[in-house]
Amino acid sequence: MDFRHLQHGRRHAFFVERDGKRVAEQTLSADADGKVVIIDHTEVDDSLRGQGIARLLTLNTVEWARASGVKLVPVCPFAKAVFDRDPSLRDVLA
């Protein structure tokens, strides 16, 4: 599965596209200095449900945060649940 990252100003998205359509996406919003990033929303098309795609989106976000030196705030209930279940990811929490 090809996960992509797109940034437009303070908005970010990690996503999967099929046939030019986003079928899975996690959106993020950075604060003014870009050091703290909120995970706003995670959505996966019904055709991909049950395959762990939403968790993989969150793991991609975590990898990006580690590489970028930013801290994350999971407001999205799904992303928050991923952090709650996996203590090894919490080093990137604000």
Q: Mind listing the pLDDT tens digit of every residue in the chain (94 residues)?
A: 899 999 999 999 999 999 999 999 999 999 999 999 999 999 999 999 999 999 999 999 999 999 999 999 999 999 999 999 999 999 999 9
First to last CA, the chain: 29
Gap between the Cα atoms of 46 and 32, Å rounded: 34
The predicted pLDDT at position 1 comes to 80
Number of domains in the chain: 1
Predicted confidence at residue 42, as pLDDT, reads 98
Q: Which tokens is 1 given?
A: 């599965």
What's the confidence (pLDDT) of residue 92? 98
Q: What is the CATH number of the domain that holds 64?
A: 3.40.630.30
Nearest to 86 by CA among 69, 62, 64: 62
Tokens 């996690």 belong to which residue?
26
Verdict on whether the full-model pTM lies above 0.85? yes
Full residue range of the structural domain in which residue 55 is found = 4-92
